[in-house]
Structure 1
């Protein structure tokens, strides 16, 4: 129950007046602290003239409410003064600090009737204390940081006074001397084991730094206590006071023995490389991490009639045959982006004015940290091989052309004979003629393949592009394949209408060739899946099998002419390695791209793309 102020004794009135005069805040609380009767906050807290029960939510910061409640409970339980320093919410919503005290008013039975309290604003003091604490923690952290750096770095860190005496040396330097702090600090260079010439040199340098107020840098060799003679790089810097006067010299020394040895090794390695590169007929070149050419050996100079400086300064790609330039740049740029080796061929203009065929391999160079440093190119002259190959192609073309006419006639005779034997009821002869027809058909396809290769390389193969619905071609291919292939499960995905501008017959040949390969290189009764979808604005046709798969080393060369995978599982499979080459060239001439994904033992998926109309 609240005590009537008029019933206060004179001493209580004087006490209250003293509290009001010496405190920023005065308040009264119920015996259980549930109700605040009044609070005079002055300029610190907002006043309240009416009893309130939510005083803690209004005045006490949430972080300190538990502490305040605990202190109140203790004061009530012991009937002693409540006193606590805690945070409060100021009238503007900001946070402040107060030191609060409250005494219990007891009745004649010794029971608490109410509490009379006073509080002072200690915000500025707390903020000052916090700022000092933070500054002290920062200073201690900075000190620990510096001590950690100087103690754990392999560099030698030290300070001289102006009489050449060491006033500081880190652990690395003490270890190098084989000394302790106590028997090294305060000693000069000679006393710490420096040879006379070495000590005199540093004393002259210290004098120069003091006189010029500029750092000085040098390199010196001297013995380490356990590692023997080492090479060191050092810097002396002036230390100035607030009057801008040099009061000490700070020094940092780094062991660069390994760097100097590496530089010497690198120089020797470069010399060996240049000796080998200049003494060979292989065309050696080098590019940097930006793609610029930085080196050509003498073989290149002999071939092109240009010096190395001319080759570097000249855009050497302009010397490539116009028909090869685009392909080379595409191969190189793809390898450059992926940071992987590349393999390609091209013709380059020789000093005599003719073009020479080169086969080149680009190997990735890397810096010591493993980062990409460019390519080293090694090329060999394959002009004679190319000429032999052309002669071989011409011969194959001629023979294929000469064989085609009699083979076509023979096939016609067999077909007529088969029909007559079937009509005559001679099943045995009809079966033999049927097998003969299949073999002649296979031979005809093979000869046509060779002729197509010859026409392709001579530029005589024609691509007759017309607009057609790919869904129709896929349906025809499905019907033909299901009628001729009974050894495998063929699943053709449903294809919606997709219009393309392409050579319908040749695109059909590509799809049939990929399906034929899937049949050849997968086990009977396994599944072959064929689909066509629009992906990123292009139609993508895929043929997937569950066959033997292709190794990663064979994948890059799979679409080369006459290239065949050579392993135990493919040795018995017939072929000349021209099917995928023809597929690749037909797709390229349509502006598309062909690729393969494969895992050995799990199967392969061939993809090729065509532009969508």
Structure 2
């Protein structure tokens, strides 16, 4: 499913190059049409003063695809074609003699008039992208070319050609966003392959090695050692199963296959169930887990997803707690939400680690206090699931002083 990305990147790059070439062609075309306008002015009869009349509106200008105009030296429209009327969504009578500046936002007005003034002053053509906000807050992106024309009497005119490039610009922005998304997808794919290749493979190798040691201990009738090895095999298998379930849940979530089932859930019962599975691992590190007494809160949510969240956060707290440390779990009602806090007295995190904690592409997890390995994938999954359930998650931590993982879920 991920392998065609390279070819998709090439196709996007090709489309992007095509987009730039189209913009260059537009500038060339605007320049040609600008020259046509100047030629039209040079043939203009000076005795005829009705610049905005139908006689001039129904000329060559109306056969030009782009919007064109002629302004006087005060930036008032003297001559416009049908395309400009369509662009502005105004009749010709409401355009001639006006600058249109009074109909647009102040920042756009200043920009338009400053460019007009500069071109009339120094005679240097201006090719620019301008933003125009019309009525009903309709926004357009325009490619404009403005030139100065001076007639035989020394009178200055501003000649302009406008092309609406809104659609092409939006397409270009969408293309850039698509490229960013594809890069993130590619990085996610690489991360998943690394997890599958390393984080799933290593535990199975450990289990096989422990089984061989256990087999030898049984042959020697070393009962005490046998129990220890069985415990290690059990905890390793459980941790590996958690990772595998996380991967499968995330894959289902990304493909839209995971479904959410709403039911009444007791937070206390979920916490207790997860602790029953985690106490052996905590015991091997001498970690005390305290559930702070509070009202037994019930929420309407998905119990399977909530168990996945709690399992990952408690497992994470055990992993980074120092031997002999303490973990505290509390839940309180707050503003129609349940707020769950899982605190540990472990190693804590610096600002850089906190910043990348929930990013699959940038998260490089540190080993646990007893050198436990991990992918960091569980926290990514927690954030995604909590947000899909309508909640939020954040972390308060200081290096060397432990961490507080806090998340909220709506009561209903």
TM-score, scaled to structure 2: 0.49
* Larger radius of gyration between Structure 1 and Structure 2: 1
TM-score, scaled to structure 1: 0.34
Greater relative contact order structure (CA < 8 Å, 6+ sep): 2
Say which structure is richer in strand.
1
